[in-house]
Amino acid sequence: MTIIVLYILLGIIAFIVILLHFSVRAEIRASKKGVDIKVKWLFITLYPRKPKKSKKPKKAKKGKAPPEQALDEQGEPDLSEEALEEFIKEAEQTRDEAGQENTEAAKEQNGAEEVKPEDKKTKKAEKAEQKKKAKKEKTEKKNAPSHITDESKEKAPKKKGKIAELKDKFNMIKPYIPMGWKYFRKILKKIRFTNIEADVTVGKEDAYEAAVWYGKVQGIIFGSLGWLASIFTVKVKHIDVHCRFNEKITDGEIYLKVKVRPSTMIHIAFCMALKALCIFIKQKNEKKRRIEAAKKKRAMAKKAKQKAA
């Protein structure tokens, strides 16, 4: 039975690893109209998400309806004395009920806001006691003996300045910096820019200015691609830059895909965590050694003083 459970667990882990091996794809299309971004993983669209269906608004709770006047057989209001008296009675009842509800709500609010005089007295007494305690502590500190023995001076830790604290923090972080930079560069290299397509048209009214502008645009495009290739993994499909004379125009479209494998990111993060743990253990062992060496020096110094005495 245990072997079957192990096989099932191994199968689940293998399935998760295979799923993580499929890369997350982001398709980016930029033009004068704007930037269109789509993010997919397998057959699931992560961005943009579909808009949620708007829920129907809930119906408002119905209150007590006002009394309706009685109608006669023809559908017209009955103006007889009995009908009018009944209508007036019903209206008065509804008014009295509404007035009672309002008075009860007002009483509850006033009761919550009101504070008993006894509570006020207890609060004042507590504040007075706190003030007395604070005064006693101040007098005790002033009257405390100012002389301090040599042993207490040795035991009391010296306060460090802000610069010294910053230096200590930097020394703690310093071993992690080269390791972090190395793995950060690895993560960037694993981000792949593929299927880069660009179709750009530029032009000026003057032929000389058009040629200069054409050269500048080419330099910007290919220079930025070179900079990207030094940081990320870049694959270019085709880039076309067209020049038009006697026409002032700058238009174009850029399309590219960005791919990242979750499995590689998890692997790099795991390796980085292991290296950081090793550095942390080394730092702890070095601290212990320093403390032991300092204790030995103090013990040797005490022995030397005792021999001299």
Do 245 and 201 reside in the same domain of the chain? yes
Do 287 and 309 reside in the same domain of the chain? yes
Mean pLDDT over 135-158 rounds to: 57
Segments in the chain forming alpha helices (H): 2-21, 81-113, 117-143, 150-155, 162-173, 176-189, 207-231, 262-308
Residue 276 lies in a domain: yes
- What residues form DSSP beta bridges with 40? 25, 45
Residue 4 lies in a domain: no
Residue 79 lies in a domain: no
Q: Is the pTM of this model over 0.75?
A: no
Structure tokens at 219: 């330099």
Q: Alpha carbon of 49 to those of 39, 44, 46, 204: distances in Å? A: 10, 10, 6, 42
**Total domain count, the chain:** 2
Backbone phi, then psi, for 59, in 5-degree steps? -75, 140
Do 281 and 244 reside in the same domain of the chain? no
Parent domain of 221: 187-259
Do 253 and 281 reside in the same domain of the chain? no
**Euclidean distance between CA atoms 30 and 253, whole angstroms:** 6
Query: 193, exposed or middle or buried, with CB in 10 Å at 0-12, 13-18, 19+?
Result: buried
Residue 101 lies in a domain: no
User: Which residue's entry shows tokens 């071993």?
Assistant: 175
* Better-predicted residue by pLDDT, 223 or 97: 223
* Better-predicted residue by pLDDT, 1 or 277: 277
Q: What is the tens place of the pLDDT at every residue in 209-221?
A: 999 999 999 999 9
Q: What is the tens place of the pLDDT at every residue in 162-208?
A: 888 888 888 889 989 999 999 999 999 999 999 999 999 999 989 99
Do 246 and 284 reside in the same domain of the chain? no
Residue 248 lies in a domain: yes
pLDDT at position 147 is 46
Most confident listed range (67-81, 106-120, 210-224): 210-224
Q: How many CB atoms lie within 10 A of CB 294?
A: 10
Do 292 and 229 reside in the same domain of the chain? no
Q: 259, 275, 299 — which closes off a domain?
A: 259
Q: 227, 242, 259 — which closes off a domain?
A: 259
User: What does the DSSP assignment read for 147-197?
Assistant: ---HHHHHHSPPPP-HHHHHHHHHHHHTTHHHHHHHHHHHHHHTSEEEEEE
pLDDT at position 100 is 67
